[in-house]
Structure 1
Amino acid sequence: MSTARHILLIIGGGIAAYKASELIRLIKKAGMTVRCVLTESGAQFVTPMTLAALSENEVHTTLWSLKDEAEMGHIQLSREADLVVVCPATANLLAKMAGGIADDLATTLLLATDTPVLAVPAMNVRMWEHAATQRNLEQLKADGIAIMPPDEGDMACGEYGPGRLPDPEAIMAEISRRLGDGSGTTLDTASELGPNPLDGQPAFAPDAHRPLHGRHVLITAGPTREPIDPVRYIANRSSGRQGFAIAAAAAEAGADVTLVAGPVHLPTPAGVMRVDVETAREMEAAVHAALPADIAIMVAAVADWRAAENADQKIKKKGDAPPPLKLAENPDILAGLANHKARPGLLIGFAAETENIAEHARAKLARKGCDWIVANDVSGDVMGGDENSVHIITAEGSEIWERLPKPEVARRLVEKISTTITEEN
Structure 2
Amino acid sequence: MLTDRRVLLVVSGSIAAYKALDLVRLLRKAGAAVTAILTAGGARFVTKEALAGITGQRVHDDLWAAEAEIGHIRLARWPDLVVVAPASAGLLARMAQGLTDDLAATVLLATRAPVLVAPAMNPAMWEHPATRANMAALRSRGVRVVGPGTGAMAEPESGPGRLAEPPEILAAIEAMLAPGGRPLAGRHALVTAGPTHEPIDPVRYIANRSSGKQGYAIAAALAALGARVTLVSGPVMLPDPPGVTAVRVESAREMLAACEAALPADIAVMAAAVADWRVAREATQKLKKEPGAAAPVLEMALNPDILATLSRHAQRPGLVVGFAAETEKVVQHATEKRLRKGCDWIVANDVSGDVMGGERNTVHLVTAEGVEDWPELPKSEVAERLARRIAEAMA
Per-residue deviation, 1:123 = 2.8
Residue 271 of structure 2 contacts residue 323 of structure 2 at CA under 8 Å; is this kept in 1? yes
The SS at the match of 2:216 is helix
Residue 87 of structure 2 contacts residue 119 of structure 2 at CA under 8 Å; is this kept in 1? no
Per-residue deviation, 1:421 = 1.2
Question: Counterpart in 2 of 1:15?
Answer: none
Per-residue deviation, 1:174 = 2.4
Task: Note the 1:39-58 alignment, pairs <5 A.
Answer: none
Q: What is the rounded CA distance, in whole Å, between the counterparts of 1:364 and 1:195 in structure 2? A: 39
Closer/same/farther in 2, CA of residues 200 and 103 from structure 1, 3 Å limit: closer
Question: Counterpart in 2 of 1:255?
Answer: 227
What residue identity is the alignment partner of 2:346?
I
Residue 87 of structure 2 contacts residue 117 of structure 2 at CA under 8 Å; is this kept in 1? no
Gaps of 5+ in 2: 1-61, 68-75, 99-106, 127-136, 145-159
The SS at the match of 1:205 is helix
Per-residue deviation, 1:352 = 0.3
The SS at the match of 2:86 is helix
Question: Counterpart in 2 of 1:183?
Answer: none
Residue 350 of structure 1 contacts residue 373 of structure 1 at CA under 8 Å; is this kept in 2? yes
Closer/same/farther in 2, CA of residues 99 and 251 from structure 1, 3 Å limit: closer
Question: Counterpart in 1 of 2:354?
Answer: 381
Q: Which of 206, 219, 230 lines up with 2:176 in the alignment?
A: 206
Q: What is the rounded CA distance, in whole Å, between the counterparts of 1:198 and 1:261 in structure 2? A: 26
Gaps of 5+ in 1: 1-38, 45-87, 111-118, 147-170, 179-192
Q: What is the rounded CA distance, in whole Å, between the counterparts of 2:307 and 2:91 in structure 1? A: 52
Q: Which of 385, 394, 401 lines up with 2:367 in the alignment?
A: 394
TM-score by length of 2: 0.63
Task: Note the 1:310-325 alignment, pairs <5 A.
Answer: 310-318=282-290, 319-325=292-298
Per-residue deviation, 1:121 = 6.9
The SS at the match of 2:295 is coil
| Pairwise CA RMSD | 4.1
What residue identity is the alignment partner of 1:338?
S
Question: Counterpart in 2 of 1:285?
Answer: 257
Closer/same/farther in 2, CA of residues 120 and 370 from structure 1, 3 Å limit: farther
Per-residue deviation, 1:98 = 2.4
What residue identity is the alignment partner of 1:327?
M
TM-score by length of 1: 0.58
Report the identity percentage: 54
* 1:84-139 CA-partner distances (Å, limit 9, x unpaired): xxxx9998xx67762659799948x99xxxxxxxx9775376xx7xxxx9xxx464
Q: Which of 360, 372, 377 lines up with 2:333 in the alignment?
A: 360
* 1:236-290 CA-partner distances (Å, limit 9, x unpaired): 0000000000000001000000000000010111100000000000000000000
Aligned pair 1:408/2:360, yes or no?
A: no
Residue 142 of structure 1 contacts residue 199 of structure 1 at CA under 8 Å; is this kept in 2? no
Residue 194 of structure 1 contacts residue 268 of structure 1 at CA under 8 Å; is this kept in 2? no
Question: Counterpart in 2 of 1:217?
Answer: 189
Q: What is the rounded CA distance, in whole Å, between the counterparts of 2:191 and 2:93 in structure 1? A: 39
Q: What is the rounded CA distance, in whole Å, between the counterparts of 1:200 and 1:331 in structure 2? A: 41
The SS at the match of 2:375 is strand
Q: What is the rounded CA distance, in whole Å, between the counterparts of 1:381 and 1:103 in structure 2? A: 40
Residue 141 of structure 1 contacts residue 270 of structure 1 at CA under 8 Å; is this kept in 2? no
Q: Which of 204, 222, 227 lines up with 2:199 in the alignment?
A: 227
Aligned pair 1:174/2:135, yes or no?
A: no
Residue 372 of structure 1 contacts residue 393 of structure 1 at CA under 8 Å; is this kept in 2? yes
Residue 89 of structure 1 contacts residue 121 of structure 1 at CA under 8 Å; is this kept in 2? no
Residue 241 of structure 1 contacts residue 406 of structure 1 at CA under 8 Å; is this kept in 2? yes
* 1:45-81 CA-partner distances (Å, limit 9, x unpaired): xxxxxxxxxxxxxxxxxxxxxxxxxxxxxxxxxxxxx
Q: Which of 204, 208, 214 lines up with 1:236 in the alignment?
A: 208
Q: What is the rounded CA distance, in whole Å, between the counterparts of 2:327 and 2:91 in structure 1? A: 55
The SS at the match of 1:258 is strand
What residue identity is the alignment partner of 1:269?
P
Per-residue deviation, 1:399 = 0.6
Residue 228 of structure 1 contacts residue 234 of structure 1 at CA under 8 Å; is this kept in 2? yes
The SS at the match of 1:402 is coil
What is the number of equivalent residue pairs in this alignment?
283
What residue identity is the alignment partner of 1:400?
D
